[in-house]
Amino acid sequence: MAITKLQVNWASVAFAGSPITKVTSMAFDPGGSLIKFKADVDRFPTTIVNVDNEPTATVTSGDVANLYSISPGTAGTLTGTLNDALLATGGAIVFSMVNAVFRTATMTAPHAQFASATGSWDAFSNDGQTSPLSFTRS
């Protein structure tokens, strides 16, 4: 079966080797920051440059205690597999964020609904040049 180039549901989510289960949402953001240049009578930018990247990630899980058990400042690798819509071999996207530092967990527990928590991570580069965020197909 050919890959669909469409993704549905997260699998194999983990931080620092520990699984995160009951995942309802996950997001990775490369965190690009642009500056724009205009001068003289320019009404529109004549140059736009990416000068800074600060990658982030979030995971929302129904397993509230799991995310709350991670101490802020804990560093490790955050991974997650975004499945191919029809689970075709080679169609999943595996995201990896090395040097991910856990920032916080925020919980919501509305009346008569399932509770959930969202964990947030920032990431740093070992050399200031190599992105800590990558992905591959599997």
Is residue 94, in this structure, part of any structural domain at all? yes
- Residue pLDDT, tens place only, 77-123: 999 999 999 999 999 999 999 999 999 999 999 999 999 999 999 99
- pTM (2 decimals)? 0.93
Q: What is the DSSP string of 40-72?
A: TT-SS-SEEEEEEE--EEEEEES-HHHHHTSPT
In angstroms, the CA 36 to CA 53 distance is 15
Please tell me the total count of domains within the chain: 1
The CATH number assigned to the domain holding 88 equals 2.40.30
Q: Which domain holds residue 112?
A: 7-137
pLDDT of res. 104: 98
Extract the tokens encoding 30.
């490369």
Is residue 2, in this structure, part of any structural domain at all? no
pLDDT of residue 1 exceeding 90, the answer is no
Is residue 105, in this structure, part of any structural domain at all? yes
Is residue 103, in this structure, part of any structural domain at all? yes
Is residue 1, in this structure, part of any structural domain at all? no
Residue carrying the six token digits 């527990």: 109
Is residue 118, in this structure, part of any structural domain at all? yes
In angstroms, the CA 36 to CA 45 distance is 6
Is residue 101, in this structure, part of any structural domain at all? yes
Residue 40: phi and psi, rounded to 5, are: 55, -120
- Residue pLDDT, tens place only, 31-65: 999 999 999 999 999 999 999 999 999 999 999 99
